[in-house]
Amino acid sequence: MVSKTLRDKIIVGVVGTVIGSGISLPFALNMGIGRADGPCMIPKILDGDIYLIEEFPGVEKRAKKGEVVISVNPEGEQIVKRLAGTPGDTVYVPFMWYDVNQNKWIKFAEGKRVLNKGEYWVLGDNSEDSFDSRFYGPVREIRGRLLLVYSPTTKTLKTDF
C-alpha cells in the first residue's frame, strides 16, 4: 500500500506531467481535465477550480457513494456532483422530480423512491445553491470521478474533497 505522502507526491507528479504535456496525455491515460463552474460544490470545490478526472467506460462501477463524480444533467450539460445514491438505494426526494424520459414532473407522495438499474442520485455540497437530483431526479450516466482538484484561488492542490 502506498503511503498518503507518497500518493500525494505521485499525484503532484502526474498533474505536473499532465499540465506540462498538454491535452493529449490525459486522454491517452483515460483522464481528462475540467473546470468547476458555479458554487454548487462549495466549500470543497470552488468556482473556477481545475480538476483531474478518471474517465473510461464502466467508471460508474468504480465510483463509490460519497465520491465526487462527473455526470450529465437533463439539459445535457456536464455537471460535478457528489454521488449520493446508486442502483437499489432508497432516496428521499422532494415531492416532485423531473423524469427526462417522460419529459414531465412526477409527484411522489411518499417522498422516496428506489433507484433502478443505471440510475444515480447526485447532490451538490452547497445544497442551497445546487441544481441536482432533488430537482431533476436520478441521472443515468456517470462519466468520470474526480481524482484531484487544483484551486487557483487558494493555490492549493486538494485530494480530500
pLDDT at 11: 55
pLDDT at 26: 45
pLDDT at 126: 92
pLDDT at 103: 78
pLDDT at 107: 62
Q: pLDDT digit of tens for each residue in the chain (161 aa)?
A: 444 555 455 555 555 555 554 444 444 468 889 999 999 999 999 999 999 998 878 888 888 999 999 999 989 999 999 999 999 999 987 655 567 788 776 665 557 889 999 999 999 999 888 889 988 889 999 999 999 999 998 889 998 88
pTM: 0.73
> Based on the number of CB atoms within 10 Å of its own CB, is 12 exposed (0-12), middle (13-18) or buried (19 or more)?
middle
The domains found in the chain, sorted by start residue, are 4-158 (2.10.109.10)
66: Cβ contacts below 8 Å, ≥ 6 apart: 82, 83, 84
Contact (CB, 8 A) for 45 and 64: no
107: Cβ contacts below 8 Å, ≥ 6 apart: 95, 96
pLDDT at 109: 53
